[in-house]
Amino acid sequence: MAKPIEIENKLPNMIGPGTKIVGNIETNGDIRIDGNIEGNIISKGKVVVGNNGQVKGEVQCVNAEFSGSLNGKIIVSELLSLKSTSKVNGEMKANKLSIEPGALFTGTCSMGNQSASTSATQNEKNNSK
C-alpha cells in the first residue's frame, strides 16, 4: 500500500464564528478556532482558540493559545498560554504554562517535560530494588 504524502501547510486553518463542527480534526499546520468544535483536535502546529471559540473534546498540539473556552483535555508539547478571557474545565498537560490574570481554570494540571519525569521515576524505581 502506498504511503500517504504529508503536505506541509504554511497557511493557518480557520474555523470562523457561527461555524460548528462535530467530529475530529487533524492538521499538519496551525489552526484558529472562533466557532464551536465538538470533537478532538490533533495539530502538529499551534492551536489558537479566539475569544468566542469553544472546544469540547481533547486537544493535542505543539503550542496552544486559549482566549475562549475548553471543556475536556489539552496536551501541549511546548507552551500552553491561557489568556485573561479563557475558561478551561478539564485536564491540562504542558511542558510550559503561561496564565494571565483573569483566566479561569477548573481541573488538573501537570507541567514540565513528561518524558524526563517518567525517566526519573523509572530510575528511582530501578535504584530502589
Over residues 77-109, the pLDDT tens digits come to 999 999 999 999 999 999 999 999 999 999 999
How far is it, in rounded angstroms, from Cα 86 to Cα 72? 14
Question: pTM of the entire structure?
Answer: 0.79
Task: Please write the tens of the pLDDT for every residue from 54-78.
Answer: 999 999 999 999 999 999 999 999 9
